[in-house]
């Protein structure tokens, strides 16, 4: 639990509401519940909620098998997670983390629905990987209590969380979120509110450049990934990583950079756009720069 001083009284963050039960949302629910927070996980689809809980259970079972946690800890973690399709139930938590798709109009609709239901003291955050925190916050009733809370994927494994303050975010809100990150045994990196923040400002243009390298015929999928893994000691090649992230997400971030910074060096590669238009989004659709429909991933170019 995280306590903070608020106008002379102590406010304790005990409950966390998470909007979106996808890859990021279920990972955030996992680590929050494991740290002792009461978690309310929301999605518009019951199927997505059921899948999220099954994924969390599978990952916890893996931790038990590796003797990182006990079976009792697994069970108590699962017991702290409640799923709901009712957004107002999420709003009654102490900290809300929006983890929906990386589309600003979707996030705006979620915040518009949440705001009338929120407790006055609830901190509102977004797991956005690139969208302006200041702009998202300006459309709510609490820009001073709004900030970016950007986890890395996969959430249970990755140690970094980017904390992004909008222009109106107050120190109490930042300090509260910092304490939550520390309670998860993760490390916070403070980022200013500029397009794509720190990690994706560096990472996604590298992936985009790998797409250009493929597009221009400098190398094929296999040679580009091998070159970066063996030549730069990267654990995954850039095209393999793009498939893991989701090509639609990579393209969305490149568009945010291109629109927000007005610099041609951030122009999305036409080949990346073409893959997204084809619906080849990477691992989640079984095809991207690799074809995952067989036993072994096979390069598609």
What is the distance between the alpha carbons of residues 83 and 102, in angstroms, rounded to a whole number? 22
What is the distance between the alpha carbons of residues 294 and 11, in angstroms, rounded to a whole number? 52
* DSSP E strand boundaries for 166-247: 187-191
Report yes or no: 167 and 176 within 8 Å, Cβ to Cβ: no
The region, left, alpha or beta by phi > 0 then psi within -120 to 50, assigned to residue 233 is left
Could you say which of 98, 150, 208, 240 is catalytic? Answer: 150
23 is in an annotated binding site: yes
107 is in an annotated binding site: yes
Q: Is 129 a catalytic residue?
A: yes
Distances from the Cα of 144 to the Cαs of 64, 74, 95, 117, 172, in angstroms? 40, 36, 14, 17, 9
225 is in an annotated binding site: no
8 is in an annotated binding site: no
171 is in an annotated binding site: no
**Edge-to-edge strand list for the sheet holding 187-191:** 81-84, 38-42, 15-19, 95-98, 123-126, 146-151, 160-165, 187-191
Q: Is 10 a catalytic residue?
A: no
43 is in an annotated binding site: yes
Q: How many CB atoms lie within 10 A of CB 262?
A: 8
Place of tokens 């306590």: 3
Could you say which of 98, 162, 208, 240 is catalytic? Answer: 162
Q: Is 138 a catalytic residue?
A: no
What is the distance between the alpha carbons of residues 253 and 15, in angstroms, rounded to a whole number? 30
Could you say which of 129, 130, 132, 208 is catalytic? Answer: 129
Q: Is 150 a catalytic residue?
A: yes
153 is in an annotated binding site: yes
What is the distance between the alpha carbons of residues 76 and 92, in angstroms, rounded to a whole number? 22
21 is in an annotated binding site: yes
24 is in an annotated binding site: yes
Task: Report the binding-site residues for NAD(+).
Answer: 20-25, 43, 102, 107, 129, 153, 284
> Any idea which residues carry the catalytic annotation?
129, 150, 162, 200
Task: Mark the binding-site residues, compressed into ranges.
Answer: 20-25, 43, 102, 107, 129, 153, 284
């Amino acid at each position: 639990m995280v306590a903070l001083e608020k106008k002379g009284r102590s406010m304790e963050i005990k409950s966390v509401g998470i909007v979106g039960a996808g890859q990021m949302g279920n990972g955030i629910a996992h680590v929050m519940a494991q740290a002792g927070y009461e978690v309310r996980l929301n999605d518009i689809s019951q199927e997505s909620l059921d899948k999220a809980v099954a994924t969390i259970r599978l990952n916890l079972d893996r931790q038990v098998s590796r003797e990182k946690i006990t079976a009792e800890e697994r069970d108590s973690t699962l017991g702290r997670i409640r799923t709901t399709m009712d957004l107002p139930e999420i709003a009654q938590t102490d900290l809300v983390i929006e983890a929906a798709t990386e589309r600003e109009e979707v996030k705006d609709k979620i915040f518009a629905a949440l705001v009338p239901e929120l407790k006055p003291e609830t901190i509102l955050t977004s797991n956005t990987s690139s969208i302006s925190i200041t702009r998202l916050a300006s459309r709510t009733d609490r820009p001073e209590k709004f900030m970016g809370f950007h986890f890395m994927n996969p959430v249970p494994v990755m140690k970094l969380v980017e904390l992004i303050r909008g222009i109106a975010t107050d120190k109490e809100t930042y300090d509260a979120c910092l304490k939550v990150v520390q309670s998860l045994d993760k490390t916070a990196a403070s980022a200013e509110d500029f397009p794509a923040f720190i990690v994706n400002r560096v990472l996604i243009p590298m992936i985009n450049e790998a797409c250009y390298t493929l597009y221009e015929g400098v190398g094929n999928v296999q040679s580009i990934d091998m070159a970066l893994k063996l030549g730069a000691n990267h654990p995954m090649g850039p095209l393999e990583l793009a498939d893991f992230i989701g090509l639609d997400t990579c393209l969305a971030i490149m568009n945010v950079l291109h629109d927000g910074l007005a610099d041609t060096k951030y122009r999305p590669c036409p080949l990346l756009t073409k893959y997204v238009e084809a619906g080849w989004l990477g691992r989640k659709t079984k095809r991207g720069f690799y074809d995952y429909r067989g036993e072994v991933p096979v390069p598609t170019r």
